[in-house]
Amino acid sequence: MSLIHNKDMATTLPKSPPPSSLFASIDMGTNSFKLLIVRANPSGQFLTLNHHKEPVLLGLNSTPTNPFAISNQSHLLALQALQNFQKLLLSQQVIPDHTRCVATAAIREATNGNELVECVKEKVGLEVEVLSGEEEARLVYKGVLQFLPLVYEKLVLVIDIGGGSTEFVVGKGGKVCFGASLKLGHVNLTEKFVKHGDHNVGDMREFIRLVIEESGVVERIKEFGGVEMVVGCSGTIRAVEKAVFYGYAKSEMFENDNVVLLEEWKRDWRFSRRELSGVVERLCDGREGEKARRDKFFNRRSEFIVAGAVLLEEIFEVIGIEDMEVSGYALGEGVIAESLGKVYGGYDLNANVRWRSVVQLATRFNSKKSMRVAAQCAGIAKVIFEGLRECEEVAASLNERDLEYLEAACLLHSVGLFMGKKGYHKQTYRIIMDGGHLHGYSTEEVKLMALLARHHRKKFPKSGHASLIAFSNEVKQKFRSLCAIVRISVALQQHQCINIQEMVFSISHEGFKLEIGDSKDQNLLPTTAQPLAVDTVAELGKELENFKKVFQQDLSVVVHSSTSES
């Protein structure tokens, strides 16, 4: 066992071709720009590695009815955001052919939208595709299918509330039956009705109903004879669902810093009309202290959440919606799904329901930061696993399905943290085993993943551990192999500036070696290139000893550092 931090600039990692499994989308929205980087493969596995958002407010000072021009300030902010995104894409080695940049309502409607598009091409080097409302709706539907594949065969209504528009799409079997875009968004409604602190909710409701009525959307939806499911996506709807989940409307539940009821860990991504109304009522409460309470819970979205929630409640009312499923994916993931279809040819939108239920569960309980950490952990584990399979002795006992268990355990290892840090690994086990969230796996497979997540910390379990008694000897050995990889990956992840794209696993007569490069993403990531921390080294040292006991060979970890760039 050895751990080396190599500061010699002459020592470089073996060069490998850019990872073709990485794909990116840039969504130039009305309120903010979003960069999404995922790792995907033809089998349907789809894992978010980075998700960055920068507030730009292209629609600021616009109205829902009058054309507007993008201000000089917003124009500059847009360029700066895209330049930052471009730097991150380069550092992550995402190839240009796997990157797609789209613009939505604000640029679609702005009198000077084309000027910004041309400027982006000239100064940033990105081709911007301005989506029509119908195209936007179609891509939103594709994104939903990446998160909720079980709705594939159902006639589903998808609703996406953005800053400048709301998309409605009816789809079934991956095909769009109807799509429409209305100029109703949380930014332009806030500008017109909420901006100065006077919540003209009555006037806003009347305006929303008038726009929906004149559009004919309700009649078109009813022509299908009733949809089987209604799905909401976008940040506004996810924020409402989060408010329902944490009991925002109920003072007795919420006063203790967002403490969720313990039984809520079994709750799926959904809310009812009654629950939505409770959130809206609390948001519109003008009593002293309510604004501060709202700001604390919704953070940057607080300014626009009143308009967004009221808009959603009116949509529920006029269409007659009683319950809404919520998708963690929307436009950005739909854009990537379409890119995957072009690159992989026969990419199946409805593939790998099992894996997507893992991603749903991880997204359900992990914060955005925790999700990035978990994804990085899964990436490290994948490199180690695939390297080990090059060794004949190890390859005989591990297969591709085991990689799925391994990555799932990495994604889920910290979901128990939402119930508190103390003993969270035990809560993680409970959530995976008893929550009913994972679909398509056998009872033994679910238990294997739950135990891998449970034992990512504390003592390394022996073959005779009580929790492993029900497993065969073959599965016990498989568990110990995967557990050793999980634990090393969790320990390494604590060094947050390692670059997974510059990670190489090799085999020699001396044993195994894992070489890692430092990340240089200093402009966007809140870390600095530095040696492994003392506590990380100590923890990793223990896990390398466990690794040697399991695989009967040393694993050397070498971290190549470089001069940090400002």
What does the block give as tokens for 130?
């301005």
Strand order in the sheet with 2-6: 2-6, 555-560, 511-518, 498-508
pLDDT at position 474 is 93
Q: 331 and 27 in contact (C-beta within 8 Å)?
A: yes
Confidence of residue 448 (pLDDT cuts 50, 70, 90): very high
**For 202-252, how does the pLDDT look when each residue is reduced to its tens digit (9 = 90+)?**
899 999 999 999 999 999 999 999 899 999 998 999 999 999 988 888 755
Q: 233 and 329 in contact (C-beta within 8 Å)?
A: yes
**For 438-447, how does the pLDDT look when each residue is reduced to its tens digit (9 = 90+)?**
988 999 999 9
pLDDT at position 289 is 82
Strand order in the sheet with 156-161: 175-182, 166-172, 156-161, 229-233, 323-326, 270-272
pLDDT at position 300 is 85
- The C-alpha atoms of residue 63 and residue 57 are separated, in whole angstroms, by 13
Considering the chain, what percentage of its residues have pLDDT values greater than 90? 54
What is the H or E stretch that residue 169 is in? Answer: strand 166-172
Cα dihedral 286, 290, 292, 293 sign: negative
**For 463-480, how does the pLDDT look when each residue is reduced to its tens digit (9 = 90+)?**
888 889 999 999 999 999
Q: 353 and 439 in contact (C-beta within 8 Å)?
A: yes
Rg (CA), the chain: 24
- The C-alpha atoms of residue 466 and residue 258 are separated, in whole angstroms, by 36
Q: Which has the higher per-residue pLDDT, 562 or 104?
A: 104
- The C-alpha atoms of residue 101 and residue 29 are separated, in whole angstroms, by 11
pLDDT at position 93 is 86
Scanning the structure block, which residue is given the tokens 């403490």? Answer: 259
Q: Which has the higher per-residue pLDDT, 259 or 123?
A: 123
**For 138-163, how does the pLDDT look when each residue is reduced to its tens digit (9 = 90+)?**
999 999 988 887 788 999 999 999 98
Cα dihedral 325, 326, 331, 333 sign: negative
According to CATH, where is 1.10.3210.10 located in the chain? Answer: 352-560
Q: What is the CATH number of domain 148-250+260-328?
A: 3.30.420.150
What average pLDDT is seen over the chain? 85
Confidence of residue 41 (pLDDT cuts 50, 70, 90): confident
- Burial readout 71-100 (b: 16 or more C-beta within 10 A, e: otherwise): beebbebbbebbebbbebbebbebeeebbb
Confidence of residue 59 (pLDDT cuts 50, 70, 90): low
Say which range, 68-82, 347-361, 452-466, 514-528, has the weakest mean pLDDT: 514-528
Going by C-beta distance under 8 Å and a sequence separation of 6 or more, which residues neighbour residue 70? Answer: 58, 78, 106, 107, 110, 112, 113, 116
| Topology (CATH level 3) of domain 22-131+334-344 | Nucleotidyltransferase; domain 5 (3.30.420)
According to CATH, where is 3.30.420.150 located in the chain? Answer: 148-250+260-328
- The C-alpha atoms of residue 309 and residue 324 are separated, in whole angstroms, by 13
pLDDT at position 253 is 47
pTM: 0.82
According to CATH, where is 3.30.420.40 located in the chain? Answer: 22-131+334-344
Looking at the DSSP assignment, which residues form a beta bridge with residue 499? 517
Q: 295 and 124 in contact (C-beta within 8 Å)?
A: no
Q: Could you tell me which of 178, 149, 153 has the C-alpha nearest to residue 347? A: 149
Q: What is the CATH number of domain 352-560?
A: 1.10.3210.10
CA 485 centroid distance within chain: 24
pLDDT at position 317 is 97
Residue count of the chain, please give it.
Answer: 566
- The C-alpha atoms of residue 399 and residue 402 are separated, in whole angstroms, by 5
pLDDT at position 211 is 96
pLDDT at position 521 is 42
Confidence of residue 13 (pLDDT cuts 50, 70, 90): very low
**For 246-278, how does the pLDDT look when each residue is reduced to its tens digit (9 = 90+)?**
888 875 544 444 444 445 666 778 999 999 999
Q: Which has the higher per-residue pLDDT, 330 or 261?
A: 330
Indicate if the pLDDT at residue 383 is higher than 80: yes
Going by C-beta distance under 8 Å and a sequence separation of 6 or more, which residues neighbour residue 328? Answer: 147, 233, 238, 269, 359, 360, 363
